[in-house]
Each structure stands twice: as C-alpha cells, then as structure tokens.
A and B are shown apart, each in its own frame.
Chain A
Amino acid sequence: MSLAEERTQTGDDSRLAQSAAHVKRNRRAYLLIAPAAVFLVAVVGYPILETFRLSLYRSPADSTIETFVGLQHYVDIFNSDIFYRLLWQTGRWVAVGVAGKTLLGLLIAVHLKGDIRGRKFFRTAFLIPWGIPYAISAVVFRWIEHPQFGYLNAILLKLGVIEQGIGILGNPDIAWLGVVVADIWIGTPFMAIIFLAGLQSIPQDLYEAAAIDGAERWHQFRYITLPQLKSVILMATLLSTIWTFVSFDVIWTMTGGGPISTTATLVIHIYQVGLQNGNLGLGAAYSVIGFLLLLLFAVVYLRVYTRGGEEL
C-alpha cells in the first residue's frame, strides 16, 4: 500500500495503529538516517537552542554562574549605536562583495563559454582562489597591500598614480575596501563556474536565430543570455549573499575587525563579544539576530529551490 493510499484511509482510531505499522515497515529506513539525524540534532540543533537560551542570561565564559536577565541583552543591543553601525558595515560589505563577485564571475563565464582552446586549463586556474585556505588568501592580500613592501604600492608608484606609499588596512576610511577585495577574489570562482554551467545550458539555436536577425552582441547578451540565466543568477547571488554575510576567516586574519572596528561585520562582532571578551550571553543575543537574518535568506532560498513543487 502506498503512502498516499494510506493517508486517504479514514478512521481516527486506526490512525495510530497505521503509523505504528508504517514505522515498523520502514524500520530499516529510519535506522539508516538515524545516525545522521541524531548527529545533526546534537551538533547543530542543540547549539541553536543553547544560543537562544544563553541570550537570556548574563553568562561570563570564565564562570559557571549564570544570571537570568530576560530580554535585557536585546534591549541593550537595539539601544546601542554599535548595532546600527554594524548593520551598516555588514550591509556595505555584503552589497559590494556580492556585486563584485557576480560581475567578475559573469565576465569570466561569458568569455569561457564559446569554443575556447584550453578551456579546462582556464577553468582550473580560475577555480584555485576559491579552493585555498581563506587565511592564506588573507595574508597574501595583507602582503600585497603592505604599506611599505607591498606590490600594490610598488605598482601604483611605478604608474605615477601615487607619490607615497599608502596604508590601506590601517586607514579607517578605506580598510574595508582592502578586505572586500580579498573576499571578492575568493568568491568569484564559484560564481564563474555556476554561470558557465548556466550559460552552457542555454539552447544554441536561440543565438543562431538572433545572429540571422543581425542582433548585436550586446543585444544578444541583454535579450537572450540575461533572461535565460535569470534563475541561475538568482540562486547564485542568494548563496553568495549568505556566504558573504558569514565570511569570518578573511576579515579576522586581515584586520581582526579593525582599525577602530570599521571592518567588523555582525559575525566578527559575535566572535569578539562572545568568545574574545567572554560575554557568552551578549554574544548569543547577537548570534540570534544573525540567525534571524540567515533564516530570512534561507526561506527565500528554499522558496526558489523548491519552486514548481518539485519532487524531492
């Protein structure tokens, strides 16, 4: 008997017996997913609940004494200037980061699409920045942007753009740009690979028809490529938004959130407050705000992912 038939059978008293029978019949199936399910509940589910609980307590990391403070942490957060500054800094970090990754990724993909000799070589080469440790990428960019010995200053001096070496990461006004460049570099390959796969699934005859009509290349891109690629772009930028929002290793290694906290995002602040300063309660409250924002992205993502009632 299929699941659907089973469900349509009526009779309230037999429902319990039926679900018991269902579990029994599928005992092996449940046993096989149990280890993964239990593991995820313990390592992800429980910490989520624990974070919510901790956010209601004053809980120093170096002490076992917790004091219930209710929503006090949240009140403090929403009344503090820091929170709004963090939102602004996180917003610009995500907006510029995702835009940069999308545009650069699209540019690479469009040029890799055609009949390119050595495409495998190019694709592998473009992939590498995505696949190496973020901390290593971060120190390399620190090195490039080094005020005295960095390559960037050497090039700019040679080109005559500047007359004196500039210190990007030490300057509160522009430090975040120095970091976001590294994050864009890391995140671009993913976009390029996804867009390339998307481009390759566009039927070639669409372009052939347009070529007969004499459509210019920009028009082809504007009226064929972009509309055909819409859902791929939506999915990729959504994922990229989530990943950029939670990007930690790069910022932490390049600036640690400084100078004067101008490169700190919400997740950097969570780490500073909760683990560095040992204020678990306040850190947990910031984390809950982070959850809610992530949940928002996740709901949109799932909507898009399961659109059209696709069978799982």
Chain B
Amino acid sequence: MAGHDEGGLRRVRVYGMLIALLGIMMFPFYAMFSSTFKPESEIFSAPATLVPSQPSLGAYVDVWTQTDVLLWIANSFVISLGTVVLTLLLAIPAAYSCARNDFVGKRTFLLAVLVVQMFAPVVLIVGLFDVISRLGLFNTYLAVIVPAAAFTLPFNIWMLYGYFKTVPVELEESARIDGASQLQVLTKIVLPLTKPALVASITYTFLYAWNRLLFVLTFLTDSGKYNIPRGVFSMVGALQTDWRMMLTVSVIGIIPLLVLFAFLEQYIVAGMTAGAVKE
C-alpha cells in the first residue's frame, strides 16, 4: 500500500540521517581510538592511514611507564570527589531552607545564585588569582576544589530546591511527631525521596570538576597534582608532541566518564534540561 511504503521510506530516511549524524559526531572518537592501536612507525606516516594496518596494543603497555597517567587519574578523582562533597555540604542546607521557609531575601538569594552561574570563572580569573593567593591555597587541591564548588553550587542549589519543594511537608511533620530529629528527617526521608535530583547534582559536579582545565592550569604548578586535562595539556609540546602517548592517555582519561554515561544517562539528561525547558 502507498501509505505503508511512504512510512517505510520515511523510516529509512530518518535512520539513515541519524546514522550519518552519529558518524560525524563519533568521528573524533574514531580518530582517537584508531590512532592508539597504531605502532609508532605508522602513527607518524603521511598521509594517515584511516585503519591501522597492523593493530597493536603496544601503546596501552607503554603508557603506564612513559606517562604519569595513573597519578593524573588519581588526582582527578581527588579533585572531583572533593568538589562533590564540598558542594553538597553547602547546597543541601541552602536548598532545603529555601524550599521549606518563606523569608525576606529568599528571592534575592536564589536570583543572585542564578547570576553566579552566568559569571564564568575565566572572566573572574584575575580576581580569583588574588583570592587563592591570599588564602594561601596555591598548589593545594583546595585551590581547584574551592572555585569549582563555587561554580557548581548554583546548579546544585536550584536542582535540589526544585525537588525538595515536591516532598510533602506532612510527611516530615509526622516523622517529627514520631520523635525524629530534623537531621534524621532530612537524611532518612527527604534525601531518599529526592534521589534523582541528588544523582543529577552529583554527576554534574563530578563531570565539571573532572573536565575543567582552567583552575588546575592557573592554581596548580606542582606537576604531582595534575589532573587528566592538565596532564594531557602538559604533553602538548612546542616543537614535538608524542601523539601516540597523548591520545592513549586521552582514551584512558575518558573511560571513567563513559562508564558514568552508560549508567546515569537519564539523570544527566534530566539535569541538562532542568534549566532550559520549563513547563
């Protein structure tokens, strides 16, 4: 039937287009991955071979001894987890307070927080440089964690505030009558009910701290504290770059993130759309 054919044709067109778009978006990953399987002689041959002619895992053997990739990964975890903890410690009480109370200055506070998100760290970097040095934080993990927490705080406060509001007050009141303390109410009742928001907040903060170069570049000169982006950046040579090692480090540096995406995709999407799409 004509209608059926039309539908079938349309499906082919849509899937064809999707695969083409996916191909474009995945191409950089292909270039990265395929290059790491080339032996040294092949990676530096011109023009480049689009498929490794003699695939080898050599780069993944060499990378552990020739670079500090393990140290960079460890530092990335310290920085990301530190940022998550600090941000949540500040955001949860603030968001809870705003969701449960009506007080003078609440609107101003929430709008000010929104404006902070507009102020990208890079236009503040000169002033931040001053703050970090006055606090004596140079070359400590805190030099990165403190500003990262400040710039993830707005998202966290708004995300959690939105969810806390949806928890019925009656639920908390009955728990209070049963003798639960306010902290118990928060940890045993409110937080479990707002798990999606918590997961979205944690993933967003973790990714933010894992991915940013600027703070590490500016406030950590001690190469023993470099994270993955800074480590990769340090491998870019003025005259010569060891592309094989650099790309292998890059692959290893994004593997934890790919795991994160595979399991938490729906929370990440929920977080991304929270600000821009409102009903």
Q: A125-B22, A155-B50 are in contact. Are A287 and B124 (CB under 8 A)?
A: yes
Decide if B79 is an interface residue (CB 8 Å cutoff): no
Decide if B177 is an interface residue (CB 8 Å cutoff): no
Contacting pair B104 A3 (CB below 8 A): yes
Q: Smallest distance from the beta carbon of B107 to chain A beta carbons, Å?
A: 5
Which of B25-64 touch A at CB < 8 Å? 25-29, 31-32, 35, 43-50
Q: How far is the CA of A120 from the CA of B113 in the complex (A)?
A: 33
Q: How far is the CA of A143 from the CA of B97 in the complex (A)?
A: 49
Decide if A79 is an interface residue (CB 8 Å cutoff): no
- Interface secondary structure of B, over-half rule: helix
Q: Smallest distance from the beta carbon of B149 to chain A beta carbons, Å?
A: 7
Residues of B within 8 A of A189 (CB): 25
Contacting pair B21 A108 (CB below 8 A): yes
Residues of B within 8 A of A252 (CB): 213, 217
Partner of B31 from A125, A135, A144, A245 at Cβ < 8 Å: A144
Partner of A36 from B50, B153, B211 at Cβ < 8 Å: B153
Q: How far is the CA of A128 from the CA of B211 in the complex (A)?
A: 12
Decide if B189 is an interface residue (CB 8 Å cutoff): no
Partner of A275 from B32, B49, B125, B272 at Cβ < 8 Å: B125
Q: How far is the CA of A151 from the CA of B31 in the complex (A)?
A: 7
Q: Which of B166-174, B193-201, B243-251 contacts A (4 or more CB under 8 A)?
A: B243-251
Partner of B32 from A39, A114, A140 at Cβ < 8 Å: A140
Q: Which of A46-54, A86-94, A170-178, A219-227 contacts B (4 or more CB under 8 A)?
A: A46-54
- A126-145: CB near B (< 8 Å → 1, else 0) gives 11110111111101111110
Contacting pair A127 B265 (CB below 8 A): yes
Give chain A's interface residue range (CB within 8 Å of chain B).
Answer: 35 or more
Q: Which residue of B lies closest to A125 (CB)?
A: B22
Residues of B within 8 A of A248 (CB): 122, 213-214
Partner of A19 from B104, B118, B260 at Cβ < 8 Å: B104
- Interface secondary structure of A, over-half rule: helix
Decide if B12 is an interface residue (CB 8 Å cutoff): no
Q: Which residue of B lies closest to A108 (CB)?
A: B21
Residues of A within 8 A of B228 (CB): 133, 136
Decide if A43 is an interface residue (CB 8 Å cutoff): yes
Decide if B1 is an interface residue (CB 8 Å cutoff): no
Decide if A95 is an interface residue (CB 8 Å cutoff): no
Q: How far is the CA of A142 from the CA of B265 in the complex (A)?
A: 28
Which of B90-131 touch A at CB < 8 Å? 90-91, 93-94, 96-98, 100-104, 106-107, 109-116, 118-120, 122-131
Q: How far is the CA of A35 from the CA of B101 in the complex (A)?
A: 17
Residues of A within 8 A of B232 (CB): 133, 135-136, 139, 253
Decide if A242 is an interface residue (CB 8 Å cutoff): yes
- A182-216: CB near B (< 8 Å → 1, else 0) gives 00010011100110011001000000000000000
Q: A131-B211, A133-B232, A291-B123 are in contact. Are A43 and B277 (CB under 8 A)?
A: no
Q: A3-B102, A54-B130, A127-B261 are in contact. Are A44 and B48 (CB under 8 A)?
A: no
Contacting pair B273 A193 (CB below 8 A): yes
List the 6 shortest-distance A-B pairs measured between CB atoms, nearest first.
Answer: A47-B127, A246-B120, A32-B97, A29-B101, A36-B94, A135-B229
A-B contact pairs, 14 of them (CB 8 A): A32-B94, A124-B265, A133-B212, A144-B28, A146-B243, A149-B45, A185-B28, A193-B272, A243-B120, A248-B122, A267-B123, A275-B218, A280-B129, A305-B114
Q: Interface residues, chain B, CB within 8 Å of chain A?
A: 14-15, 17-18, 21-22, 25-29, 31-32, 35, 43-50, 89-91, 93-94, 96-98, 100-104, 106-107, 109-116, 118-120, 122-131, 146-147, 149-151, 153, 157, 207, 210-214, 217-218, 228-230, 232-233, 235-236, 243, 246-247, 250, 253-254, 257-258, 260-262, 265, 268-269, 272-273, 275-277, 279
